[in-house]
Amino acid sequence: MSEGAVAQREVALVDLVDRLLGGGVVIAGEITLAVADVDLVHVSLRALVSSVDTAQRQGALPRMGEAL
């Protein structure tokens, strides 16, 4: 995978994690997987989001639509 494709995938991963862990049908009281582990992933990915702007100004990441 090219460097650009990896960057796009990482950016899209933020949206994926937000959606898989924060979206979808919620069935109360039935979430029993190791969510704590996943939450750690989530936190680090949120940090990535706040760095996207800087990365884009450096030309390291795709701009609008390119992650599509």
Partner 1 sequence: MIELVAITDGTLAPEAPVRAVPFDGLAVLCAPAAEGEADAETLWRREALLEALMEQGALLPVRYGTVVADEAAAVEAVSEHRDAFARALARVRGAVELSVRAVGPADAAPAAARVHATLAVLARDAVRLGGDEQLNGAYLVERGAVDDFVAAVGRLQREHRGLSILCTGPWPPYSFTEAG
Residue 1 interacts with partner 1 (CB under 8 A)?
A: no
**Size of site (CB under 8 A) for partner 1:** 38
Whether the CB-CB separation of 6 and 48 falls below 8 Å is answered with no
Rounded CA-CA distance 42/51 in Å is 15
Whether the CB-CB separation of 40 and 21 falls below 8 Å is answered with no
Rounded CA-CA distance 65/42 in Å is 23
Residues 23-62 that bind partner 1 (CB under 8 A): 23-27, 30-35, 37-38, 41, 46, 49-50, 52-53, 56-57, 62
Which chain residues interact with partner 1 by CB under 8 A? 11-13, 15-27, 30-35, 37-38, 41, 46, 49-50, 52-53, 56-57, 62-65, 67-68
